Chain A
Amino acid sequence: MTKIEYLSLSKGQRAIVRVAEGFKNFGLGFVGFFRKLPSKFTKMWMVILSPFYVLKDALINGNWITRANFLVCGFSQLFRKQIARGILYLLYEVVFFWFLFKIGVPNFAKLGTLGEFGPNATYLVFNATTQEFMPTFISTGDFSFNILLYSLITIVLMIIFVVLWFFSIRDAKLLQDSESVGKFSKNSDFVKDITGKSYQNVLLAIPMVGLLAFTIIPIIFMIIIGFTNYTSVHTDLFDWVGFKNYSNLFGGASDGANDIVQVFFKVLAWTLIWAFFATFTNYFLGMVVALLINKKGIKLKKLWRTVLITTIAVPQFVSLLLISQMFSGTGIVSRLFMDWGIIQPGFELLSDPLISKIIIIVVNMWVGIPYTMLICSGILMNIPEDLYESARIDGATPFKMYMKITLPYMLFITMPYLISQFVGNINNFNVIYLLTGGGPEFKLAGLTVPAQYGNVGQTDLLITWIYKICMNDQKDYASASVIGVLIFLVVAIFSFIFYGRSNSVKNEEDFQ
């Protein structure tokens, strides 16, 4: 269909055409993905193979100094006046092998069973209060947690080692090659390299190590926990249970417990509803407030902005706890509503699921609108004034100008922000936990939520549910991990749908 044909259609027909096009594009993209699959595999295969060619080259064509790198990382660098680099390679190798034999191997050996009970040993321990030796039971068994953690750390260090080992060999061969054409390396090359071609390594080293140690390893660890029975019953020793935690959640509970899948989908639905409303009410109303304040001829702009900023200044946990107090049974809002006869005396606003959901979204507007207002007013000032000028000359009403100029411009520019807000709201812990604590409780006929799943409530999001599971007496980390993985899947699906369509992600170099 050509552009002209499209424009000659009526509004309704155009909408139908657009929907049809959307489906067509989606289908084509789907087919295209599979059509490209073989060539993608070939490419991947090349990427996997290429390091082996480098190694083969170094082994066959390298001289003995280069070959020594296969055993001692950094050997040839030390020989060829690359002292700093050589020492770094060597140091990592030494540390890695020390760790591997001291901690890695003993823990790997127990990975299959995750440790055994020790002999039920009773020792004589000196008791300070009674001033005599008392027989005391001391657990001499293994700690599954430590076995798992140290094994994981060893594996990560091993991957890093293999990569560095490869680089050291490749680097050695390159040094040899440049020597054979008479180019000898100097120690100063190292400084030149790390402030030039490899500057990113200097910048990214610490942030990436932080990310690895405190985000990536914990996440992998937590996913692994989902396949064990780690709860408060099994704190020292736990076992592999395969997919049992997953099947428990989805109806395969073998021990007679009620399946929890019904609750899971209810919580998931509310999480998505919440994320949608929280994101869009804040966004549009924040923009409206920004437009009102930025309107030409409105005085005291700074005052209005300042008033709203007050709420940003009060830490969220304070304002949320305070508002939660205001809406509680003895709070000022309930009191006022009772005085005005809106609610019956003794009625708890937060005990009604629907009302508490509405309150949450409204309060979230109170929390979030000032931020959106600040961001929007920054961007609104950047919209070229001549766009409005020409629209005004053509006789456009303010509403039309908003729909045709302001809104598209804002949406185009703030799309990444909007997506990150949506994702952030799916995992928005503070508002829910501090405002309602997840309550009121679920009342589902014939279903009692097993204690291990915490006292999940009707306004709980998946993230606050996880918090409750980890914090209640049973501390069922395994189930929490399962729900965590499911949150990840939900969020991943949504963000990939959105991100693929965002222009600002695609054209990152437009302004450079």
Chain B
Amino acid sequence: MAKHVRSARAVEKTRRVLVYVILSIISIIWVIPFLYLIFQSLSANANPGSFFPASGDWTLKNYGLLFSSTIAPFFRWWLNTFIIAAASAVLQTIFVLMTAYALSRLRFKGRQGIMKLILLLGMFPGFLGMVVIYMILRLFGLSGSVFSLIIVYVASSAMSYYIAKGFFDTIPKSLDEAVLIDGGNKNTVFWRVILPMSKPIIIYTVLVSFTGPWGDFMFASLLSQGASDMAQKTVAVGLKALLTTAPSAALPNPYGLFCAGAVFVSIPIMALFFWLQRYYVEGIAGGAVKG
């Protein structure tokens, strides 16, 4: 018996070692591109073929150039993107939660219809509608502005109600009824009862609606194609343009500059995710996922 227990333990131990080995390999695979990005950003000359910069090329100049270059006004891009992402995060969260609450906890004629309609609209490639929106915005002289991007991101917020609705679906209905009996109305139920209980899903929604515009390339590039003004660009569009820029006296290493900018863009999101990781998991586990 004793021998049997020991061998079971040995099996368990080798299993654990194996898991550690696999996890280490996975971690290395996932971290390498990020390290590569950092090392490339520290190189004076573009040297994408090797992992580290050449021995005499180590420099911090790319980071300095990010804030001083007038050809590639990174700081303006960053600020534009931040304004867009922050404004959409606030507005989109409010609208998503409102839609999700209405579709989850209120019963009215046309509820199923709206849900089916949104499902149907989601199947149409959003990009095509975006072409029309671009032309409409151009008609009003709005294309390529920060404001137009905020409108575009916020206007479709009703489409992403699913996860918040899933979350609201799991909150017992008796709570609402108790408040209504105590003389509250549905408005108080929503703002005073349901929302305070929904911290994970609120944080999840904020996080998703911030990172969406923050990293979006397709709509930003489409809407800013009319704007020749470099200062109107977002980070994604500006950095992508750097990749196709030839080295010049003012920009000796566009590729390194791209990497430096990318590192700089990643840091806020990384901080947010480390800080709010728990809520992200709770939110999506409580929302996307119900049986």
Q: Do A219 and B169 form a contact, CB below 8 Å, given A204-B102, A210-B158?
A: no
Q: Are B291 and A510 interface neighbours, CB within 8 A? A: yes
B215 closest partner in A (C-beta): A315
Contact partner of A331 (CB less than 8 A), chosen from B48, B121, B214, is B48
Stretch of A75-83, A169-177, A289-297, A351-359 at the chain-chain interface: A289-297
Contact partner of B155 (CB less than 8 A), chosen from A145, A210, A315, A323, is A210
- Is B87 on the interface with A (CB-CB < 8 A)? no
Q: How far is the CB of B95 from chain A (nearest CB, A)?
A: 5
Q: Which residues of B have CB within 8 Å of A321?
A: 239-240, 243, 258
Q: Which residues of B have CB within 8 Å of A295?
A: 16, 19
Beyond the given pairs A213-B155, A218-B132, 12 more chain A to chain B contacts, judged by CB atoms under 8 angstroms and listed by A's residue number, are A199-B190, A203-B99, A204-B102, A211-B156, A222-B131, A292-B22, A298-B16, A309-B270, A313-B269, A417-B288, A480-B131, A507-B291
Q: Are B106 and A374 interface neighbours, CB within 8 A? A: no
Q: Are B125 and A423 interface neighbours, CB within 8 A? A: no
- Is B250 on the interface with A (CB-CB < 8 A)? no
Contact partner of A467 (CB less than 8 A), chosen from B29, B101, B127, is B127
Q: Are A487 and B289 interface neighbours, CB within 8 A? A: no
Q: How far is the CB of A96 from chain B (nearest CB, A)?
A: 20
- Is B232 on the interface with A (CB-CB < 8 A)? no
Q: Do A311 and B262 form a contact, CB below 8 Å, given A298-B16, A322-B36?
A: no
Q: Are B291 and A412 interface neighbours, CB within 8 A? A: yes
- Is A477 on the interface with B (CB-CB < 8 A)? yes
Q: Are B135 and A315 interface neighbours, CB within 8 A? A: no
Q: Which residues of A have CB within 8 Å of B12?
A: 297
A417 closest partner in B (C-beta): B288
- Is B226 on the interface with A (CB-CB < 8 A)? no
- Measured in the bound complex, the distance between the Cα atoms of B158 and A332 in whole Å is 43
- Measured in the bound complex, the distance between the Cα atoms of B255 and A330 in whole Å is 13
- Is A200 on the interface with B (CB-CB < 8 A)? yes
B217 closest partner in A (C-beta): A317
Q: Are A487 and B151 interface neighbours, CB within 8 A? A: no
A491 closest partner in B (C-beta): B123
Query: How many residues does chain A have at the interface if contact means C-beta atoms less than 8 Å apart?
Result: 101
Q: How far is the CB of B120 from chain A (nearest CB, A)?
A: 7
Contact partner of B240 (CB less than 8 A), chosen from A309, A317, A492, is A317
- Is A430 on the interface with B (CB-CB < 8 A)? yes
8 closest cross-chain pairs (CB), A and B? A378-B285, A315-B215, A218-B129, A313-B270, A214-B155, A210-B155, A207-B158, A218-B132
Q: Are B121 and A503 interface neighbours, CB within 8 A? A: no
- Is B277 on the interface with A (CB-CB < 8 A)? yes
Contact partner of A504 (CB less than 8 A), chosen from B49, B211, B290, is B290
Q: Are A195 and B187 interface neighbours, CB within 8 A? A: yes
Contact partner of A466 (CB less than 8 A), chosen from B125, B154, B239, is B125
Q: Which residues of A have CB within 8 Å of B288?
A: 375, 414, 416-417
- Measured in the bound complex, the distance between the Cα atoms of B121 and A427 in whole Å is 13
Q: Are B217 and A430 interface neighbours, CB within 8 A? A: yes
Q: Which residues of B have CB within 8 Å of A20?
A: none
What are 26 A-to-B residue pairs whose CB atoms are below 8 Å?
A199-B190, A203-B102, A210-B154, A211-B156, A218-B133, A222-B132, A289-B26, A292-B23, A295-B16, A306-B274, A309-B273, A315-B211, A316-B215, A317-B215, A317-B216, A375-B281, A375-B288, A379-B289, A414-B289, A427-B125, A430-B217, A463-B127, A466-B125, A467-B127, A470-B131, A487-B124
- Is A318 on the interface with B (CB-CB < 8 A)? yes
The A-contacting residues of B in range 130-177, CB under 8 angstroms, are 130-133, 135-136, 139, 151-152, 154-159, 162, 166, 169-173
Q: Which residues of A have CB within 8 Å of B155?
A: 210-211, 213-215
Q: Do A310 and B31 form a contact, CB below 8 Å, given A210-B95, A222-B132, A495-B123?
A: yes
Q: Which residues of B have CB within 8 Å of A507?
A: 291
Q: Are A309 and B274 interface neighbours, CB within 8 A? A: yes
Q: Are B26 and A433 interface neighbours, CB within 8 A? A: no
- Is B20 on the interface with A (CB-CB < 8 A)? yes
- 1/0 per position for A308-349, CB-CB distance to B under 8 A? 111111111111011101100011100100000000000000
The B-contacting residues of A in range 397-437, CB under 8 angstroms, are 412-414, 416-417, 420, 423, 427, 429-430, 433-434
Q: Which residues of B have CB within 8 Å of A145?
A: 135
Q: Are A379 and B269 interface neighbours, CB within 8 A? A: no
Contact partner of B129 (CB less than 8 A), chosen from A222, A318, A326, A508, is A222
Q: Are A207 and B285 interface neighbours, CB within 8 A? A: no
Q: Are B125 and A375 interface neighbours, CB within 8 A? A: no
- Is A39 on the interface with B (CB-CB < 8 A)? no
- Measured in the bound complex, the distance between the Cα atoms of B52 and A204 in whole Å is 54
Q: How far is the CB of B152 from chain A (nearest CB, A)?
A: 6
Q: How far is the CB of B233 from chain A (nearest CB, A)?
A: 13
